[in-house]
Amino acid sequence: MDETVIIELLAWESAQPLALAVRFDVFVQEQGVPPELERDELDASSLHAVARFPDGSVVGTGRLLPDGHIGRMAVADSARGQGIGGRILEALVDRATELGHHQVVLNAQCHAQPFYMRHGFVAEGPIFDDAGIDHISMTRTLAKAKA
């Protein structure tokens, strides 16, 4: 795991110029998601995790919606396999716990299901298509926030 990566939790105004390039590279260029589906109105109300190397280069992102839904998890191809996605995910889960959520939910791309299972998520329901990619809903029950 790369301990030199810095994870910041930011409002969209600060995260947008950092996160969009990684999301575009991963979702639009690599996975063929139409650009108009990649961005949505939920970005503005979400908390965004941004992962950066000490030189400032952004290598990953994810978001936490106000209702406890995690999404838009993306790690740059060149930075995969270093534990960055797990650190982003756990930062979002920790914040959800601090905010008093009892569970977090996400729609995992099916190929990423084992990754989320390693982080305590459980698959629920049938596989469904989202932007031409098979997904499955997953949940994780959270410990109660410390008073």
Kindly report, residue by residue over 54-106, the tens digit of the pLDDT.
Answer: 999 999 999 999 999 999 999 999 999 999 999 999 999 999 999 999 999 99
Beta strands across the sheet bearing 58-64: 6-11, 47-52, 58-64, 69-75, 103-109, 133-141, 122-130
Instruction: Tell me the three state secondary structure of residue 118.
Output: helix
Report the C-alpha gap between 29 and 37 in whole angstroms. 13
pLDDT value of residue 4: 87
For the segment 21-38, the average pLDDT, to the nearest whole number, is 92
CA pair distance 94, 119, nearest whole angstrom? 12
Q: What percent of the chain shows pLDDT beyond 70?
A: 95
Judge whether residue 144 has pLDDT over 80.
no
Burial (CB count within 10 angstroms: exposed 0-12, middle 13-18, buried 19+), residue 29: exposed
Domains of the chain are 6-141 (3.40.630.30)
Q: Residue 133: enclosing H or E segment and its boundaries?
A: strand 133-141
